[in-house]
Chains A and B, each alone.
Chain A
Amino acid sequence: MADLYPKFRELKAEVLSVSTDTVYVHKAWHDTSKAIAKIRFPMVADPTGNLAREFGTYIEGVGLSLRGTFLVDPDGVLKVIEIHDNSIGRSAKELLRKLQAAIFVREHGGEVCPASWEPGKETLKPSLDLVGQI
C-alpha cells in the first residue's frame, strides 16, 4: 500500500491504516521497520477496539483486528468491504482497481463495472436487454 499511495492520492483518495496499537507503537514500527517506514498516510490508533468492533474486524479475547479494507465514497457511504483472515494478505493493486471502478460508477450514473473491470474496458448498462445475456 505504501508504494501505491501516490496513485491513490492522484485519485483524490486518502488512506488510513488502523490497528489496535497506540500511536507510540505506530512510531516504534515506523522507526524500526523498513516496510512501515515507507508509509506516508496516517496510521490510526484504535487501542479500545471500538472502531474495529464497529467495522466488524475486532477479535474478541485477543485484542487485535482482522485485516479489513473499507472503501468509502465522498458522501461517507461505504461501498466496499474486504475482510481477510490474518494469514492471508490483501492486494493494494486490486484495491486501486476497485477504487477506479467506484469512481467510474459514481461519475457515470447508470453504468456498472463488470467483473475484473479496469479503466478503458467496457462497462454495462443494466436493462431488460441484458437478461440472460451475461
Chain B
Amino acid sequence: MALLVNLTGAVLAGLVVWWFWLARPKPRRAESGPVAITMADGAFDPAVVEVAAGQPVTLRITRRDPAPHAAQVLFPDLDRAVDLPLDEPRSLSLPALEPGEHEFTCQMRLYVGRLVAA
C-alpha cells in the first residue's frame, strides 16, 4: 500500500511538472482579420494565439468575468494594456511583432495567455 501511495505521489509530481512546464498548449493560428479572444472563468480562449510575425495584428478581447482583476489585459513585453468593460469587445492594435512569444495577463496573472509570432 505504502509503495502504491508513494508511486502515485511521484507520478502526480511528474504529471504536474510535465503538464504545467514541459507540455505547451497548441497555439490557435489566427486567420485574417482581428483575433477574437474571450476571457471568462479564469482562462483566455484561446490561451495561445499564433499570429504572423512582421505584420500588425488587431486583437478583439471580450471580458465575460465581472471580477475586477479581469478589467484590464496587460502585454508587459509590448508595454500595452487594454481596459475591458464587461461583455463589450475592445480592439487592440499591435504593431508588427518580432518572431517570439509575448505573454498577456490580467492584472493579477490569474489569466495568462501567449501571443506567438511566427
Note whether A and B form a binding pair: no
* Interface, chain B (partner A; CB < 8 A): none
